Structure 1
Amino acid sequence: MPADAVPLRAGTLSWLFPRRTALVSLALTAVIAVVVVLATLASSTGMSLTESVRGLLGTGDFATNMIVQDLRLPRIVVGLLVGAALGISGCLLQTLAGNRLATPDVIGVNEGATAVVVASVVGSSTAMVGDWWLGPVGAVAAAVLVVFAAGGMGTRGYRVLVVGIGVSTVVGAVGDLVMSRQNQSSAGGIFLWSVGSLSGRDYGVAVPLLICLAVLVPLALASGNRLGALRFDDDTASALGVDVRLVRGVALTLAVLLAGVAVGVGGPISFVALAAPVVASRLCGPDRVPVAGSALLGAALTAGADALGRVVAPVEIPVGVVTSVLGGPFLLWVLFGKEKTGKA
Structure 2
Amino acid sequence: MAFRGGAASAPSARGGPRILAGAGALLLFTIGAFAPQHLANDFLLRLADGGLLLGILALSIAFLMSQAGLVSLGAASVYGGVGYLFAIMTGQWNLSPLAAILASMLAVTVYAAVLGALIIRTTPLAFMMLTLAAGEMISHAVLLEGLRDYTSGADGLVVNFSGALFGLEAADFANSAGFWPIVWTAAWVAGLAVWAVRCSRLGAILRATRQNEERMRFSGFDTYSPRLAAFVLANFIAGACGLLHVLNSGFVSPESLGLGLSTNALVSGLIGGTATSAGPLLGGAIFAFAQDEFGARGFTQLLTGLAIVVFIVLFPSGVVGAWRDFAQRMWRNRDSEAG
- Give the structure-1-normalised TM-score: 0.53
In the alignment, is residue 146 of structure 1 matched against residue 115 of structure 2? yes
Q: Could you tell me which residue of structure 2 aligns to residue 297 of structure 1?
A: 283
Q: Equivalences for 1:214-229 in 2 at 5 Å?
A: 214-225=188-199, 226=203, 227-229=206-208
Q: Counterpart in 1 of 2:132?
A: 165
- Provide the aligned C-alpha RMSD in A: 5.3
CA distance in 2, matches of 1:146, 1:183: 23
| Structure of greater Rg | 2
Query: Any gaps of 5 or more consecutive residues in structure 2?
Result: 1-8, 16-27, 94-98, 160-172, 247-255, 314-339
| Contact 2:143–2:151 (CA under 8 A) maintained in structure 1 | no
Q: How far apart are the structure 2 equivalents of 1:245 and 1:327?
A: 41
Q: Which has the higher helix share?
A: 2
Q: Deviations over 1:282-310 (max 9, x none)?
A: xx8xxxx343322221232134435665x
**1:273 correspondence with 2:262:** no
Per the TM alignment, residue 56 of structure 1 is displaced from its structure 2 partner at its CA by 6.7
242-251 or 110-119, which deviates more: 242-251
User: 8 Å contact 1:92–1:252 — kept in the other structure?
Assistant: no
Q: Is the 8 A contact 2:73 2:132 kept in 1?
A: no
Q: Matched residues, percent identical?
A: 17
Cα–Cα, structure 1 residues 328 and 176, in superposed 2: closer, same or farther, change >3 Å?
A: farther
Closer/same/farther in 2, CA of residues 237 and 139 from structure 1, 3 Å limit: same
Letter in 2 for 1:181: D
Query: Secondary structure in 2 aligned to 1:181?
Result: helix
2:328 alignment partner in structure 1: none
Equivalent position of 1:82 in the other structure? 53
SS at match of 2:75: coil
Contact 1:97 1:157 in 2 (8 A): no
Q: How far does residue 134 in structure 1 lie from its aligned partner after superposition?
A: 7.0
Contact 2:58 2:268 in 1 (8 A): yes
The aligned residue for residue 241 of structure 2 is 262
Residue correspondences, number = 253
CA 231–188 in structure 1, closer or farther in 2 if over 3 Å, else same: closer
Query: Where does the alignment leave 5 or more consecutive residues of structure 1 unmatched?
Result: 1-9, 16-28, 34-39, 41-54, 58-67, 125-129, 192-198, 314-321, 338-344
Would you say the 8 A contact 2:55–2:265 is kept in 1? Answer: no
Structure 1 position 91, deviation (Å): 0.6
Q: Secondary structure at the match of 2:143?
A: helix
2:222 and 2:151 mapped to 1: Cα distance? Answer: 51
Judge conservation of contact 1:136–1:259 (CA < 8 Å) in 2.
Answer: no
Is 2:81 the partner of 1:112? yes
Secondary structure at the aligned position of 2:142 is classed as helix
- 1:59-74 equivalent positions in 2, closer than 5 A: 69=41, 71-74=42-45
CA distance in 2, matches of 1:307, 1:121: 36
Say yes or no: does 1:252 pair with 2:244.
no
Deviation for aligned residue 1:256: 1.3
CA offsets, 1:187-236, max 9 Å, x none?
Answer: 46649xxxxxxx94534544443443333321201323424333222465
1:192-207 equivalences in 2 (<5 Å): 200=174, 202-207=176-181
- Rounded Cα–Cα distance in structure 2 between residues aligned with 1:120 and 1:326: 40
Alignment pair present for 1:93 and 2:77: no
Deviations 1:220-279 (Å, cap 9, x if unpaired)? 013234243332224655899987556434432331122112222336344332113334
1:138-182 deviation digits (Å, cap 9, x = unpaired):
5434323321332xx246333433332332233222222377437
Aligned position for 2:142: 175
TM-score where L is the length of structure 2: 0.53
Against the structure 1 CA distance between its residues 56 and 218, is the aligned structure 2 distance closer, same or farther, given a 3 Å change threshold?
closer
